[in-house]
A and B are shown apart, each in its own frame.
Chain A
C-alpha cells in the first residue's frame, strides 16, 4: 500500500498555486501511506549553466552558512542556498558532479536528494500532513510535481527509503506496489557503474528507467522495455523537467485515476485525493489501462 499523486498545470496562471493545490491531494493519501511522504516539484529551469541540488540534513542541527562558505572556498563559482527546515536547495554555477563529490567528502551528514535544473525534492518520514507542513509544500510553485505517501512493505522506514527516488538529472519516480526482481535489475545495472543508495525495490526501477533514458530511449520506449524487465506490481508515476508519465502493470492491481481539464492534469491513487480540485466534476476522469503509457508535457 502506498499513495501517489501528480499534478501538471497546463494553465500557467495556476503555477503559483501548485503546492496549495497539491497538499490536499497528498493528505488525501494518508491512509494509503502514513509513514513517510515526499515530493518532487519541477520549476522553470534555472538560468544558463546553473544547476540545483536538493540537500537533506537529517535530524542533527547543521550550520548551512558554514556549508555554503566552505563550499565557496573549495569550488569556484556562485553557490546559493535556500533553506527550509533541515532541507536546502543549493543553486550552483559549478559542475554538479564536483559539488556532489565535495559534499560527499566534506559534508557527509548531508544527503543529495536530487540534481537537475528544474527539480527540487523533499522527502522525510512522518505523516503526510506533518511532512507537508515541515517543508511548506503549500508555498511551492512550479509547473508540475510528483508526490508519494508511503506505507513500507519491503524495506525500512527511513528518509532515504521514502519516495520519490531520483537518478541522473531532472528525473524522479514514485511507485505504488512491489517489484519481485529488484535484485536482478540491480545485478544488471551495477556492472554498468550505476550505484545504488538503498535496498529499496523502487530505486531499482528508477535507476533502470534513467539508464534507458541516457541510452537514448524516450520515456515511453523505456517504459515499454520495462514491461519485459521489471517483474511485479506497480503503478509508476515519473517526472522529468518537461513531462509526467504514468503506467500500470498488466494486472493493474494498484489503483490510479486521472482527472484532466483544460487547466491541469491530476493523477492520484484514488479519487478522494482529487475531489477538492477546481472543476474536477467537469474533468475527463478515467482509470489508466494496464500496460499503457500515459504522458503529459508542460
Chain B
C-alpha cells in the first residue's frame, strides 16, 4: 500500500481528477453530465483521502480508477460503470448498485453492497459487518472474511466469501444464496447449510473467476434459506 496515491503513468484518453485540488462534486458532475457519449476516457482519481460519495450514481459504461482510500458510499447506485478502488472503502461501498462492476482492492467497511440489485462487487480484503445486507440481486465476492449480520434479509443474488463469517450470517434470508469457504461463527435465523450441487460449484467457479481468486469451488459450503420464516407461525411463541 506504499504507493496508494501515485497514479499510473497517463496514457491517451485518460481524464485525471486530483481530489487534493478538485472537489468530489466536480468529479461526479463530469461523470454524470460531461462524459462523451462514445469512447469515454478512463477516469483516474487521485488523493481521495477518505472523501465520501466518490463516483456515486454513475450511469455510463466508464472505467473509474481511484488511487487511495475512500469514505462512505463509493460507487453507490452504480449503473454500467466499472469502478476500482486501489485502497480501502468506507461504509456503503456500491450500495444500491444496479449493474456494472466495483472492485475494492483493500478492505470494505460496513454495509458493503447493501441492497444492490445487480452488477458485481469484489472486495479483495475483508468486509466489515452487514456486508450484502438486503441484497437484491447483485453478486458479491469477498476475498477475505465478512463481519456479523452479513447477508441479513438478502432477497436475491449470490455472495461468495473466501474467508470466515461472523455471527448471524444470512439472518432472515430470502432467496439469496451464500457460499462460504471458511468458518461461520453462527448462522442467523432461518439460514441453513445445504449440500453443494454441481450447479453451485459452477456458480462459485464463475464468480471466483470474475474476481480473480484462486480457490477450489469444492472447498465452499452453500447457505440458503430454510424458508421457515416466510409464513407467520403463531405457535412459535416469538422464539425464532
Interface residues of chain A, those whose CB is within 8 Å of chain B, are: 28, 250-253, 255, 270-276, 281-282, 285-287, 289-290
Contacts and interface: CB of A to CB of B under 8 A. Distances in A.
A27 to B, nearest CB: 13
Nearest to A282: B2
A286 B72 CA distance: 16
A271 B69 contact: yes
A275 B50 contact: yes
B71 A252 contact: no
A287 B49 contact: no
B71 A272 contact: yes
B50 A281 contact: no
B77 interface: no
Nearest to A284: B1
Interface residues of B, number: 23
A252 B49 contact: no
B91 interface: yes
A270 B110 contact: no
A285 B4 CA distance: 13
B169 to A, nearest CB: 15
Given A271-B50, A271-B69, A275-B50, A252 B128 contact: yes
Residue from A271, A272, A290 whose CB has the most chain B CB atoms within 10 Å? A271
A282 B3 CA distance: 9
Contacts of A281: 1-5, 68
Contacts of B2: 281-282
A270 B90 contact: yes
Contacts of A286: 107
A281 to B, nearest CB: 5
A274 B68 CA distance: 12
A252 B3 CA distance: 30
A206 B90 CA distance: 28
B129 interface: yes
A290 B148 contact: yes
Interface string B122-160: 000000110000000000000000011100000000000
Contacts of B147: 252, 289-290
B115 interface: no
Contacts of A255: 90-91, 109-110
A104 B204 CA distance: 69
A265 B69 CA distance: 18
B61 to A, nearest CB: 29
Given A281-B5, A287-B107, A290-B148, A271 B128 contact: no
Nearest to A28: B50
Given A255-B110, A272-B49, 12 more contacts: A28-B50, A252-B110, A252-B129, A255-B91, A270-B90, A271-B88, A272-B50, A275-B69, A281-B1, A281-B2, A287-B109, A290-B148
User: For chain A, what secondary structure do more than half of its interface residues adopt (helix, strand, loop), or is it mixed?
Assistant: loop
Given A252-B147, A285-B88, A287-B128, A271 B71 contact: yes
A231 B207 CA distance: 40
21 contacts: A250-B148, A252-B147, A255-B110, A270-B50, A270-B71, A270-B72, A271-B90, A272-B50, A272-B51, A273-B50, A275-B50, A281-B3, A281-B5, A281-B68, A282-B2, A285-B1, A286-B107, A287-B107, A287-B109, A290-B147, A290-B148
Contacts of B109: 255, 287
A251 B111 CA distance: 12
The 6 A-B pairs with the shortest beta carbon distances in the complex, nearest first, are: A272-B50, A271-B50, A275-B49, A271-B69, A281-B4, A252-B129
Nearest to A275: B49
B2 to A, nearest CB: 6
Contacts of A271: 49-50, 69, 71, 88, 90
B224 to A, nearest CB: 25
Contacts of B72: 270
Nearest to B89: A271
Contacts of B149: 251
Contacts of B71: 270-272
A119 B69 CA distance: 33
Contacts of A253: 110
Contacts of B69: 271, 275, 285
A271 B69 CA distance: 7
A227 to B, nearest CB: 14
Nearest to B49: A275
Contacts of A290: 129, 147-148
Contacts of B107: 286-287
B128 A274 contact: no
B1 A282 contact: yes
B41 to A, nearest CB: 26
Nearest to A273: B50
